Amino acid sequence: MEAKKNPKLDIGANSSLYFAIGLNIMLFLTYSALEMKTYEKDQALLDIIEMETELEEDIPITEQIKTPPPPPPQAAPEIITVVEDIEEIEETVIESTEITQEEGIEERVIEVDDVNVEDLDEDISVPFAVVENVPVFPGCKGKNNTELKACFQEKIQKHLQKHFQYPEAALEMGIHGKVFVMFDIDRQGVVSGIRTRGPDKLLEKEASRIVSLLPKMTPGKQRGKPVRVPYALPINFQLID
């Protein structure tokens, strides 16, 4: 006959459960060992000693010394001294220098010969288009102002054609355009105050040179007196292919 095993005495029945419990215990112990922090004994003792030293320091007790306030100043004695006037002061009388109606006023007659009358030499500017007598270019003749104006403009054009020179630097760079020249014919008939406005400094310089070569003229007149006459002249610098 075979012996029958008692199921309650079977050791391998709960082996898997025991294995799982043991595995969890080992994992817990391993985790605790890894997370455990250790400190050096000397450093920990040093920190404790320093902390105790700081706590044992005594705070000195200070006392506030109260100084008594200064005594009040002594009041000055009220003594009134009476001084008698011994010397008499003489009053100074100031005489008035104003002239009253009763006093006579000296009449002074100013003669005309005593007054010096100076003629003011004013520099009056009258435009070329409205001046009574236009400046006369050398060699111009005319019966009236209109003929003298036409001769003046004709002589100006001939002067430009005679002295005109195109700047070489402007030719090389292809600079061209119209330059407006403004100048004055003063009371002596001399050209002055030349101003230029154009597309380039090279052209303006040449236009100013041409106008500066204008001869001395007979000055323009307004009411029989010489006046300064401004004049504007366009000079066209044109490139010819």
In 3D, which of 238, 186, 234, 173 has the Cα closest to residue 207?
234
**pLDDT band (50, 70, 90) for residue 47:** low
pLDDT, averaged across the chain:
77
The gap from C-alpha 146 to its chain's centroid, in whole angstroms, comes to: 53
Q: Residue 237, Cα to own-chain centre: how many angstroms? A: 40
Burial of residue 117, with CB atoms counted within 10 A of its CB: 0-12 exposed, 13-18 middle, 19 or more buried: exposed
Calpha distance 42→133 (Å, rounded): 122
- 12 pLDDT exceeds 70? no
Pairwise CA distance, residues 163 & 159, whole Å: 6
* Chosen CATH of 145-237 out of 3.30.60, 3.40.720, 3.40.50, 3.30.2420: 3.30.2420
Largest CA distance in the chain: 187
H/E stretch holding 236:
strand 229-237
Among residues 212, 217, 223, 45, the alpha carbon closest in space to that of 135 is found at: 217
Between 49 and 200, the higher pLDDT residue: 200
Residue spans per domain, the chain:
145-237
For the record, the structure tokens of 78 come out as 């009220």
Write the pLDDT tens digit of every residue in 170-219: 998 999 999 999 999 999 999 999 999 999 999 999 999 999 999 999 99
pLDDT over threshold 90, residue 69: no
CB 178 within 8 A of CB 198: yes
pLDDT tens-place string over residues 93-128: 565 566 555 555 555 555 545 545 455 467 789 999
Residue corresponding to tokens 């391993």 = 30
- The first and second tokens of residue 14, run together, are 């709960």
φ, ψ (nearest 5 deg) of residue 159: -65, -40
Mean pLDDT, residues 208-236:
93
**What span, in angstroms and rounded, lies between the C-alpha atoms of 29 and 22?**
11
pLDDT tens string 141-176? 888 889 999 999 999 999 999 999 999 999 989 999
pLDDT at 55: 47
Q: Within 10 A of 185 (CB to CB), how many other CB atoms are there? A: 29
